[in-house]
């Protein structure tokens, strides 16, 4: 009997230990890349960061910005006359010829899928005429339309220049913004494409090993690689598990294998620890005696466990994780109460004032007094008449 009880207790301890492991919060991922950010693609919530606001060299991740800038400022059906300047370009190419006529869409495909530096340069010169004008315009576009704060680009391809820099956070913002555009999403998620050029007929392939399936990961929807000596390996990837959409940016990894391992760690962490929720238009929140509401349907990202929604006196809704860290902040609108509707009931008669009541009493007293005098006079008259008889 004692042996049975001892075995039973050991079994219960084992079960409790297992349950504790299942319910434990996911630990922050440990990365080898020098900088990183994990964001919700739709809500923009920052779910993890490592040196996310440190200025870094992005290499070919620059082409994400070039692509969305071109898509939103020109027609994809425009025909581009390839500039002679493309002959001077270094690095990866799609082997364009000077004077070759190519649609803007095809150039963006060659730039994002095969990382063609010549395609990038042809796009920039077509849009703005020179590198100086291109640099001025794309930086203004990124700041005004997307809200980046620590980015400055001097070229469209990402070849090294000490004045060409960004941050993991800014690249996440740029990629999230671009993913709202269906043309960008399609090209960014393309694994291969038949390329028919004047001097190069081939099938171009994405360089992103997770997107191609060489490194299996379910739900990858797009990706871009980058490398120059100064930036080392850089990688941008998007993924969707059907419930949550994630954006991962990794910068400055010494080894290509390691940067993919870091990306997988970020996605595993994000999909396990967070969920996407919707706040409906008109939903109300309170802060003390103050009330606020959502002015539109909103997507928020919340921890699967131990998350909190906190609203301050200014109507800022903050989503916190179990550590008290803010992962998203949303501005709500003050809730203005409705004016009371007019009543159809008959209003009660106004009360008499105190002065009116006193006057009424005095009037009654005077009347009673007069009646009394009249009665006395009448009795006296009767008495005299009686005595006269």
Looking at residue 335, what is its pLDDT?
83
Report whether pLDDT(307) > 80. yes
Task: List 352's β-bridge partners, or say none.
Answer: none
Q: What is the CA radius of gyration of the chain?
A: 39
Q: Determine the average pLDDT of the residues in 260-286.
A: 94
Q: Determine the average pLDDT of the residues in 177-204.
A: 97
Report whether pLDDT(370) > 70. no
The answer to whether the predicted template modeling score (pTM) of the entire model surpasses 0.85 is no
Rounded-to-integer distance, Cα 86 and Cα 131, Å: 12
Looking at residue 197, what is its pLDDT?
93
Question: What residues have CB less than 8 Å from 306, skipping those under 6 apart?
Answer: 25, 321, 322
Report whether pLDDT(68) > 90. yes
Concatenate the DSSP letters of all residues of 301-362 into one string. Answer: EEESSS-EEEE-TT-EEEEE-TTS-EEEEEEPEE-PPPPPPPP-SPPPPPPPPHHHHHHHHH
Which CATH number is correct for 30-273, 3.40.710.10, 3.50.50.60, 3.30.200.210, 3.40.50.300?
3.40.710.10
From 54, 68, 263, select the one nearest 165 (Cα to Cα).
Answer: 54
Torsion of CA 103, 105, 106, 110, to 10 degrees: 140
Q: Which of 78-82, 343-347, 375-379 has the highest mean pLDDT?
A: 78-82
Looking at residue 104, what is its pLDDT?
98
- For helices 104-113 and 62-73, give the axis angle rounded to 10 degrees: 160
Rounded-to-integer distance, Cα 62 and Cα 226, Å: 9
Q: Are 264 and 243 in contact (CB under 8 A)?
A: no
Q: Determine the average pLDDT of the residues in 9-37.
A: 58
Cβ atoms within 10 Å of 240's Cβ, excluding its own: 16
Q: For residue 126, name the pLDDT band (cuts at 50, 70, 90).
A: very high
Report whether pLDDT(22) > 70. no
Task: List 246's β-bridge partners, or say none.
Answer: 40, 239
Give 219-248 pLDDT, tens digit per residue: 999 999 999 999 999 999 999 999 999 999
Cα distance between the two ends of the chain: 134
Report whether pLDDT(203) > 50. yes
Q: Determine the average pLDDT of the residues in 46-73.
A: 98
Higher-pLDDT residue of 325 and 38 is 38
3-state DSSP assignment of residue 263: helix
Rounded-to-integer distance, Cα 41 and Cα 44, Å: 6
Give 345-355 pLDDT, tens digit per residue: 444 444 444 43
Looking at residue 322, what is its pLDDT?
82
Residue 303 CA from chain centroid, whole number: 15
Report whether pLDDT(208) > 50. yes
How is the chain split into domains, by residue range?
Answer: 30-273, 280-334
From 309, 285, 60, select the one nearest 166 (Cα to Cα).
Answer: 60
Q: Which two tokens stand for residue 183?
A: 């043309």
Q: Average pLDDT over the chain, rounded to whole?
A: 85
């Amino acid at each position: 009997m004692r042996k049975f009880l001892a075995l039973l207790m050991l079994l219960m301890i084992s079960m409790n230990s297992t349950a504790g492991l299942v319910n434990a919060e996911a630990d922050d991922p440990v990365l080898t890349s020098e900088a990183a950010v994990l964001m919700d693609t739709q809500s923009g919530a920052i779910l993890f960061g490592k040196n996310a606001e440190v200025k870094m060299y992005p290499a070919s991740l620059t082409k994400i910005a070039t692509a969305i800038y071109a898509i939103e400022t020109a027609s994809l059906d425009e025909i581009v006359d390839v500039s002679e300047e493309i002959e001077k370009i270094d690095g990866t190419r799609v082997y364009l010829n000077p004077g070759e006529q190519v649609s803007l869409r095809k150039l963006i495909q060659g730039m994002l899928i095969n990382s063609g530096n010549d395609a990038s340069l042809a796009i920039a010169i077509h849009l703005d005429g020179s590198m100086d004008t291109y640099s001025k315009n794309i930086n203004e576009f990124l700041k005004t339309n997307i809200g980046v704060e620590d980015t400055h680009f001097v070229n469209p391809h990402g070849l090294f220049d000490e004045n060409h820099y960004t941050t993991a956070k800014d690249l996440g913002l740029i990629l999230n913004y671009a993913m709202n555009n269906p043309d960008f999403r399609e090209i960014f998620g393309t694994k291969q494409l038949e390329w028919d050029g004047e001097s190069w007929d081939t099938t171009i392939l994405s360089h992103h090993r997770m997107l191609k399936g060489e490194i299996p990961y379910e739900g990858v929807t797009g990706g871009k690689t980058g490398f120059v000596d100064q930036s080392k390996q850089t990688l941008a990837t998007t993924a969707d598990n059907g419930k949550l959409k994630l954006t991962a940016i990794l910068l400055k990894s010494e080894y290509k294998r390691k940067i993919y391992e870091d990306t997988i760690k970020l996605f595993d962490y994000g999909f396990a620890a967070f969920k996407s929720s919707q706040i409906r238009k008109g939903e109300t929140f309170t802060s003390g005696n103050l009330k606020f509401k959502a002015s539109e349907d909103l997507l928020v990202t919340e921890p699967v466990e131990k998350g909190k929604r906190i609203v301050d006196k200014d109507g800022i809704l903050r989503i916190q994780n179990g550590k008290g860290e803010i992962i998203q902040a949303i501005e709500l609108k003050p809730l203005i109460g409705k004016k009371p509707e007019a009543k159809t009931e008959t209003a009660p008669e106004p009360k008499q004032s105190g002065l009116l009541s006193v006057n009424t009493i005095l009037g009654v007293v005077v009347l009673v007094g007069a009646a009394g005098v009249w009665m006395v006079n009448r009795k006296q008259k009767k008495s005299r008449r009686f005595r006269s008889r």
